[in-house]
Amino acid sequence: MRRIGFGAMQLAGPWVLGPPKDPAAARAVLRRAVELDVDHIDTAQPYGPDVVNELIAEVLHPYPDDLVIATKVGGARDGEGGWVRASRPEQLRATVEQDLRTLRLERIDLVNMRFGVGGAEPDPVPLAEQLGVLTDLRDEGKLDLIGLSTASADVVRAALEITPIAAVQNAFGIANRTDEPVVDLCREHGIAYVPYYPLGSAFTGGPKALAADPVIASVAAKHHASASQTALAWLLAHYDRMLLIPGTSSVAHLEENLAVDRIHLDDEDLTALDHVTPVGGPSL
């Protein structure tokens, strides 16, 4: 699998609701992604809801043989567009069934169990019941691999006692390395790690904050790259099973993201970048 895929969330309208502002541009991004050998697309039923899945199917179905499609369960949108928990067994099954319909698939390659949707309160549904539904769906041939999203190290360990885990999708990047223990756990077990917010979030300044960091700016200039490209290249070098899913609604931005795998950071670069001060934390 190519280590840079495509996160499709931004193809929905504002606040990840409704159709895209520019449907033609959204279709062009999907077509160009496949033309540039993207073989991993990340989506979810709540994106729209259903809008992004339906757009993917409209543009790309029948899918290339090597295209992996990943979705997430555990959350939904309410009547006002808010994010709500949907983690009961019957809700998880219903979400997978809806993904299959809207994506026009008989089997989904990877389904991530997402935690923490709809508030910080502990989920009353036991992990074993949630993963039990996904393993049932796997046994029924409706999904292939099971992953986790927004999962602590303790949850990953508990999940591994129940079923094989193919991937963990958590917030992580050069400016936010609080999830390093989970990355280490994935490395120990050979699990793919898929970082979201790889360039930081709007709350931490995002790409502008990266560009303002003198170390990142210096390494970027050395490689004739942007600060964002440099931060993504650091992630690829950080773990050999790190899979990136940067999202965009722009073909130009897509092409910039996919050029990252041609950036080869040397040991000096990596040493310098490893000591970049994370946002909200001490220098490592």
Kindly list the domain boundaries of the chain, sorted by start residue. Answer: 6-274
Q: How high is the mean pLDDT of the chain?
A: 94
DSSP 179: T
pLDDT tens digits, 7-17: 999 999 999 99
Q: How many residues does the chain have?
A: 284
In one letter, which amino acid is 175? Answer: A
pLDDT for the residue numbered 202: 66
In one letter, which amino acid is 84? Answer: V
In one letter, which amino acid is 196? Answer: Y
| Three-class DSSP category at 38 | coil
Task: Fold for 6-274, please state it.
Answer: TIM Barrel (3.20.20)
Mean pLDDT of 204-213: 88
pLDDT for the residue numbered 15: 94
pLDDT tens digits, 222-278: 999 999 999 999 999 999 999 999 999 999 999 999 999 999 999 999 999 999 987
**What's the whole-model pTM score?**
0.94
Q: Residue 229 and residue 223: Cα distance in Å, rounded? A: 10
Which member of 47, 196, 197, 239 is catalytic?
47
Catalytic site includes residue 47: yes
Give residue 283's pLDDT band: very low, low, confident or very high (50, 70, 90): very low
Label the pairing between strands 167-171 and 192-196: parallel
Mean pLDDT of 52-71: 98
pLDDT tens digits, 158-173: 999 999 999 999 999 9
